[in-house]
């Protein structure tokens, strides 16, 4: 039997959502949407950090490959590559047409002469760790390449023109060097050493150079918050002879 109200109309059952139910639905949707956007944001951060790590590794590896090629050309061309009698033996290291070889090596510095481009012109190559933290990206490893001029390899060459090659370098100290030198008998050389060291220059005894490069990313890892670190090691043999000589006797070493 149908119930009627005081006006004689049939009572109908109410339909739809209440205000509280609507608020609950909106709150749930907001939570779900927030969670989805958080996952998207985390995925984007992870993608950026992973790409940065890949770029950091690739750039460091390419730089190490370039440096290794440079080191292997150290000392080329030298008197053994030209006909005898064309140069005065006492002035061969000073000739712009011949590479003197390794000039100086330290934990954060490498200096040598070589025809690194194969165009017949000898260049003076400097690798130098700039530890000035006020400069963008430093401590950073810089590289300079200038044409050799007639004159003493240590004192008479043009001023280096450095360009930044690798930023945020972590090593380069005596305890954690970038460059390590080894003699022909396999023993480690004590650094620093330079061509004009007397009574005899120990650079002529260097057989190979090990390069260790440790670089830190500029972007923190999305998961850990720490800045990723990449470390690469390469060893290059010095294939060409050195023209290091003794200032006391002016006797050539390594190219006898």
pLDDT digits (tens, 9 = 90+) for 135-179: 988 999 999 999 999 999 999 999 999 999 999 999 999 999 999
User: Is 172 within 8 Å of 179 (Cβ atoms)?
Assistant: no
Answer whether residue 32 is part of any domain: no
User: How many Cα neighbours within 13 Å face the side chain of 241?
Assistant: 14
Helix (H, G, I), strand (E, B) or coil at 230: strand
Reference 112, options 64, 80, 150, 160; nearest CA is 160
| Res 120 pLDDT > 70 | yes
pLDDT at 9: 55
Asked whether the CA dihedral 100, 103, 109, 110 is positive or negative, the reply is: positive
Residue 21 in domain:
no
Adjacency order of strands within the sheet including 179-183: 179-183, 206-216, 229-237
Is residue 174 in some structural domain?
yes
In which band, very low, low, confident or very high, does the pLDDT at 192 lie, cut at 50, 70 and 90?
A: very high
pLDDT tops 60 at residue 249: no
Full residue range of the structural domain in which residue 98 is found: 39-237
CB of 191 closer than 8 Å to CB of 234: no
Most confident option among 20-29, 83-92, 138-147, 184-193: 138-147
Kindly state whether residue 84 falls inside one of the protein's structural domains. yes
Q: Is residue 250 in some structural domain?
A: no
Residue 83 banded pLDDT, cuts 50, 70, 90? low
The answer to whether residue 111 scores a pLDDT higher than 90 is: yes
In a domain, 252, yes or no: no
pTM of the predicted structure, to 2 decimals: 0.77
Cβ(172)–Cβ(139) below 8 Å: yes
pLDDT digit string (tens) for 199-218? 567 888 899 999 999 999 88
Q: With 70 as the cut, is the pLDDT of residue 229 above it?
A: yes
Give 175-228 as a 3 state SS string: CCCCEEEEECCCCECCCCEECCCCCCCHHHHEEEEEEEEEEECCCCCCCCCCCC
CB proximity list for 39: less than 8 A, separation 6 or greater: none
* Domains: count for the chain: 1
Q: What is the mean pLDDT of the chain?
A: 83
Q: Which of 4, 96, 50, 66 is nearest to 220 (CA)?
A: 50
The answer to whether residue 149 is domain-embedded is yes
| 6 in a structural domain | no
Q: Which two tokens stand for residue 184?
A: 């022909």
pLDDT-derived band at 78 (thresholds 50, 70, 90) equals confident
């Amino acid at each position: 039997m149908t119930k009627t109200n005081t006006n004689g109309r049939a009572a109908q059952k109410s339909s739809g959502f209440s205000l509280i139910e609507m608020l609950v639905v909106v709150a749930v949707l907001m939570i779900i949407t927030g969670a989805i956007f958080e996952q998207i944001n985390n995925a984007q951060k992870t993608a950026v950090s992973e790409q940065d790590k890949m770029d950091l590794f690739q750039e460091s590896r390419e730089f190490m490959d370039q440096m290794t090629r440079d080191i292997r050309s150290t000392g080329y061309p030298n008197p053994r590559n030209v006909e005898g009698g064309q140069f005065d033996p006492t002035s061969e290291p000073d000739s712009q047409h011949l590479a003197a070889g390794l000039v100086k090596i330290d934990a954060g510095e490498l200096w040598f002469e070589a025809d690194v481009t194969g165009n017949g012109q000898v260049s003076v190559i400097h690798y130098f760790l700039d530890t000035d933290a006020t400069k963008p990206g430093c401590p950073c490893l810089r590289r300079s390449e200038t044409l050799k001029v007639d004159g003493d390899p240590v004192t008479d060459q043009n001023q280096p023109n450095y360009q930044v090659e690798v930023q945020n370098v972590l090593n380069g100290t005596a305890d954690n060097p970038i460059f390590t030198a080894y003699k022909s008998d396999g023993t480690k050389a004590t650094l620093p050493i330079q061509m004009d060291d007397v009574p005899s220059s120990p650079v002529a005894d260097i057989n190979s150079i090990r390069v260790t490069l440790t670089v830190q990313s500029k972007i923190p890892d999305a998961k850990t918050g720490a800045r990723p670190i990449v470390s690469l090691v390469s060893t290059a043999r010095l294939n060409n002879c050195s023209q290091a000589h003794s200032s006391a006797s002016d006797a050539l070493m390594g190219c006898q």
